[in-house]
Every structure is written in C-alpha cells, then in structure tokens.
Homo-oligomer: A and B are copies of this chain.
Amino acid sequence: MFVFRIDSHSGVPPYLQLVQQVRQGVLLGFLKEGDRLPLIREVAETVAINPNTVAKAYRQLEQEGLVTGRPGQGTFVNETPAAPVSPATYTSLQRGLETWLGRARAAGLDEQAISALFTAALNQARNENIA
C-alpha cells in the first residue's frame, strides 16, 4: 500500500506534496500501472487534511495523465512511461545511498543538515554541468 507523508514545515502546499509523492512513486516503480491510490477519504484521515485538498491533488495528477479517477471504484495509476533504469543498478544506487546516509548520521548530522548537504551537492553538480 502506498503511504503519503505531509511535512507541514516545508512550505510546500500539502496538495503539491501529494502530487510530488505520487510522481516519485511512479518514477521509482513503487506505483505501477493499474495500482489503486488510497481513497481520497482515507488519505484525508491519515494525513489529517481536508478531503478537498486530496481531491485537488488527484485531479492534478489526472490532468497530468498519470492516473485516472473512476467514480465508484477509486483512482488508478495509468501506464508508466517506462522504467528509467534497470532494477539492478537501481538497487545498487539505493544501497550506496543508504551506506552514505549511515555514515552521515554516525558523524552526528541531523536530517536538516543531511538535506542541506545533498541539495548543495546537487546544485554544485548542476553548476559544473553548465560551466
């Protein structure tokens, strides 16, 4: 089952967080064609937001073509646009990241510092590509 998570301190509107999580879920293979997303009312309960807000997120996903809402049945994932990488290299990358995270935590960095380090590295890489 797919689980949503809302970070109310990030500044990102809740409905957008839901949208991004589904997009990422599809991108990483957690969500595949035909999978049913949690019911709107379920999500509203579990993450404690208004059903309309969840509906707004699902509507946007539908407009993006990622999912299709079928009244009376639920909301379902459409055909995924093809896996970007093979599962093998994917798991390898995942494991590499986990060991790195372990090192970072062992060194005493909290989640905020880790995120900061990551985005900084990502930005730097981008700048180098531009240069």
Contact of A119 among B24, B109, B113 (CB under 8 A): B24
Task: Count this chain's copies in the assembly.
Answer: 4
Main secondary structure of the interface of A (DSSP, over half): helix
Question: Could you tell me which residues of chain A, from 4 to 36, have a CB within 8 Å of some CB in chain B?
Answer: 5, 10-13, 16, 20, 23-24, 27-28, 30
CA distance A125 to B104 in the complex (A): 12
For A80-99 the 0/1 string (1 means CB < 8 A from B) is 00001100010001101110
| Residues of chain B within 8 A of A11, CB atoms compared | 11-13, 16, 20
User: When the two chains form their complex, are residues A118 and B104 in contact, meaning their CB atoms are under 8 A apart?
Assistant: no
Residues of A bordering B, CB below 8 Å: 5, 10-13, 16, 20, 23-24, 27-28, 30, 60, 63, 84-85, 89, 93-94, 96-98, 100-101, 103-105, 107-126
